[in-house]
Chains A and B, each alone.
Chain A
Amino acid sequence: MTKLKDLACYIRSKNAGPFWLTIDIFCDREEEYRTLKKAENLAPEQIAQRFRVAKSSVRIFYLDQLQAVKISFPRPLVQGDMAEVDMHAGQQYVRLLDLYIEEQ
Chain B
Amino acid sequence: MVKCRVLVPSGVLGSGFPDGTLAYGAALQPDVIAIDGGSTDSGPYYLGRGASKMTREAIKHDLRRILRLRDRLEIPFLVGSCGTCGADGQVDWVSEICQEILQEENLHAKIALLYCEQSSAELGRYREKGKIKPLEPVMPLDQDLLDSCSHIVALAGPEPYSRAVAQGADIVLGGRTSDPAVLAAIPLSKGCPAGPVWHAAKVAECGAFCTDSSLWSGVIFAVDEDGFEIEPLMADSACTPHTVSAHMLYENADPFAVSEPGGRLNTAAAVYRAVSDRRVRVEGSQFDAAASYSMKLEGARARGYQTIMLAGIQAPEILAHIEMWLEKLTLFLKEKVGAVLNISPAEYDLSLRAYGWNGINAPLAGGKAIPPPHEVGVLLTVTAKTQEVATKIARLSNPYLLHFPLREEGPMPTFAFPFSPAEVERGQIFEFVLNHIVEVAAPFDLVRCRMIDGGKA
Of the listed stretches B27-35, B37-45, B415-423, chain A binds B37-45
Is B40 a contact of A68 with CB atoms below 8 Å?
A: no
**Any chain A CB within 8 A of the CB of B303?**
yes
Is A80 a contact of B245 with CB atoms below 8 Å?
A: no
How many chain B residues touch the partner (CB < 8 A)? Answer: 37
Cα–Cα distance between A15 and B303 once the two chains are bound (Å)? 21
**Any chain B CB within 8 A of the CB of A92?**
yes
Which A32-66 residues have a C-beta within 8 angstroms of B? 50, 57, 59, 61, 63, 65-66
A16 CB contact (under 8 Å) in B252, B359, B429, B432:
B252
Cα–Cα distance between A81 and B303 once the two chains are bound (Å)? 9
Residues of B within 8 A of A103 (CB): none
Is A57 a contact of B137 with CB atoms below 8 Å?
A: yes
Is A91 a contact of B252 with CB atoms below 8 Å?
A: no
The chain A residue sitting closest to B368, CB to CB, is: A98
Is B253 a contact of A72 with CB atoms below 8 Å?
A: yes
- How many inter-chain contacts with C-beta < 8 Å in the A-B complex? 93
Chain B interface, >50% SS class: loop
How many chain A residues touch the partner (CB < 8 A)? Answer: 36
Is A80 a contact of B43 with CB atoms below 8 Å?
A: yes
**Any chain B CB within 8 A of the CB of A70?**
yes
Residues of A within 8 A of B137 (CB): 19, 57, 74
Cα–Cα distance between A26 and B45 once the two chains are bound (Å)? 33
Least Cβ–Cβ distance between B353 and chain A, in angstroms: 7
The chain A residue sitting closest to B43, CB to CB, is: A80
Given known A-B contacts A61-B254, A61-B255, A80-B43, A70 and B136 have beta carbons under 8 A apart: no
Is A14 a contact of B256 with CB atoms below 8 Å?
A: no
Which A65-101 residues have a C-beta within 8 angstroms of B? 65-66, 68, 70, 72, 74, 78-88, 91-92, 94-95
Q: Which of B359, B383, B431 has the most CB of A within 10 A?
A: B431
Is B251 a contact of A15 with CB atoms below 8 Å?
A: yes
Residues of A within 8 A of B435 (CB): 18-19
Which B240-286 residues have a C-beta within 8 angstroms of A? 242, 245-246, 249-256, 272
Cα–Cα distance between A86 and B44 once the two chains are bound (Å)? 13
Cα–Cα distance between A75 and B53 once the two chains are bound (Å)? 23
Least Cβ–Cβ distance between A18 and chain B, in angstroms: 4
A-B pairs, top 10 by smallest CB distance, nearest first, are A74-B137, A80-B44, A72-B253, A16-B253, A80-B43, A18-B432, A20-B253, A24-B249, A19-B435, A87-B43
Task: List chain B positions with a Cβ less than 8 A from chain A.
Answer: 40-45, 135-137, 139, 242, 245-246, 249-256, 272, 303-304, 349, 351, 353, 359-361, 364, 383, 429-432, 435
Task: List chain A positions with a Cβ less than 8 A from chain B.
Answer: 14-20, 22, 24, 26, 50, 57, 59, 61, 63, 65-66, 68, 70, 72, 74, 78-88, 91-92, 94-95
